[in-house]
Amino acid sequence: MGTFIMVAQLLIGLSILVGLHELGHLLAAKMFGIKVEKFSIGFGPKIVGFKYKETEYVIAPIFLGGYVKIAGIIDESMDTEHLKNEPEPWEYRAKPAWQRLIVMMGGIIVNVVTGIIVFICLTFFYGERYTPAQDLKDGIVVGPIGKEIGLKTGDKLIKVNGEKVQKFGEFRSKIITQRNSTYTVERDGKEITLKIPNGLLNKLVSMKAGNQLFLARSRYDVGAVEKGKGAAEAGIQKGDKILAVNGQPTELFDQLSEVLKKNKGKKVEVTIERKGNKQALKSVAVDTTGRLGFQVNSLLPEKRETFSLGASISKGTYDAFNVVVQQVQVFGRIFKSDASASKSLSGPIGIAKFFGTEWIAERFWRLVGLLSMVLAFMNFLPIPALDGGHVMFLTYEIVSGRPPAERFLIISQNIGMILLIGLMAFAIINDILKVI
């Protein structure tokens, strides 16, 4: 069921984004009297569809994109024999360059506007929740990558690149987008600066288990207790605090995990606190995976900041464009060989994982907003067969006063399409290899 929910969210999200993107092209074309022959969400044979006036509206099975077939546009699907005829007044190629430019920018503009609206609404209705860095009194739990840098469990993160950070989540995001970064941590009452290797991004973007940098060190109490497991049979209840296991302190979740791993399949003594009273529970069974059988309720400090409508418009717009800025920064690091393209690139499987196996409205719309801005950015790249390729050629035409040769455009579009198909195949194969 969880996989179904994850896939369904991906398909719904992509359908919204692709549909709006192609709608931008369609509306711009119709605004200038250009005939649109087909509007398709998805690729492949038609599943369902209908025709209204001159345009056929279709839903196709491969939800990895979509397209509008605009009469007279020079692309990889056009019959070159058609070019021998004089352009009809309702054809794309009959229109002035500035109108064609707006048609090509239509999808990008709609995606940008969609992303901005989504981020504004998220800011207004949900605000911003974050863990204040200064409130993490117990520091961090360090994973394998963090150990390579020199971080230690219990360190308190203070600065990135010499600047104090207020929100814990930014300790990771800032080093992904910047080169030659440093962490400043407090350890045993002293401040220590650690240099972060530029190649760290390769490991951070990997989907393979164990590639963790660090997590916030968290206190906790018992959440839902699973029937038939050691915790339930011993009488552990929701809201209890696990103070110790076999006499070893376990008030922090990483302490509990470590002790239970060492006692897989064994029985242990658990000291709990319930409503201020301590109790010792003997012979509590730990299962073979190192669990007592309860969900953990994290007690990480969290702050929720709310915003007025005016502030939401300002912050939502900033957050939307910040997605593009981060994309540019990551691309820059790939070109500088700080990051591997194969590890940084995700296809549909990788994207689906971000949606998760349960429906959470805020997370869904945040991903839709993010993907809308990413889609706009990617489509603006000057690659033939993408909108950005058309924009590049049209800009040349406007500046020079003459269009590129039609044969050159056709060859460019075909090469661009081959590259895009190859990139899509590479992304899907890359997704599969990441989870094998």
Domain ranges for the chain: 2-38+66-126+365-435, 130-218+300-305, 220-296
0.85 cut: is pTM over it?
no
380: exposed, middle or buried (Cβ count in 10 Å: 0-12, 13-18, 19+)? buried
Residue 249 CB contacts under 8 Å (≥ 6 apart), including other chains = 243, 255
Comparison of pLDDT for 421 and 45, the residue scoring more: 45
- Report the CATH number of the 220-296 domain: 2.30.42.10
Q: Are strands 163-164 and 55-59 parallel, antiparallel or unpaired?
A: unpaired
Question: To 10 degrees, what angle do helices 387-400 and 361-380 make?
Answer: 40
Comparison of pLDDT for 211 and 182, the residue scoring more: 182
Q: Quick one: pLDDT at residue 209?
A: 37
- When the pLDDT of each residue in the chain is averaged and rounded to a whole number, the result is 88
Tokens representing 376 are 């706009």
Q: Which fold has domain 130-218+300-305?
A: Pdz3 Domain (2.30.42)
Only one residue has tokens 């999200």, namely 13
> Nearest Cα to 47, choosing from 15, 73, 7, 69?
15
Within a 10 A sphere around the Cβ of 338, how many other Cβ atoms? 18
Q: Is the pLDDT of residue 285 over 80?
A: yes
Judge whether 264 and 288 are in contact, CB under 8 Å: yes
16: exposed, middle or buried (Cβ count in 10 Å: 0-12, 13-18, 19+)? middle
Q: Quick one: pLDDT at residue 48?
A: 93
Q: How confident is residue 11, by pLDDT bands cut at 50, 70 and 90?
A: confident
> Nearest Cα to 56, choosing from 46, 42, 64?
46
Q: Is the pLDDT of residue 434 over 80?
A: no
Please determine whether the domains at 130-218+300-305 and 220-296 fall in the same fold group of CATH.
yes
What's the rounded mean pLDDT across residues 122-140?
94
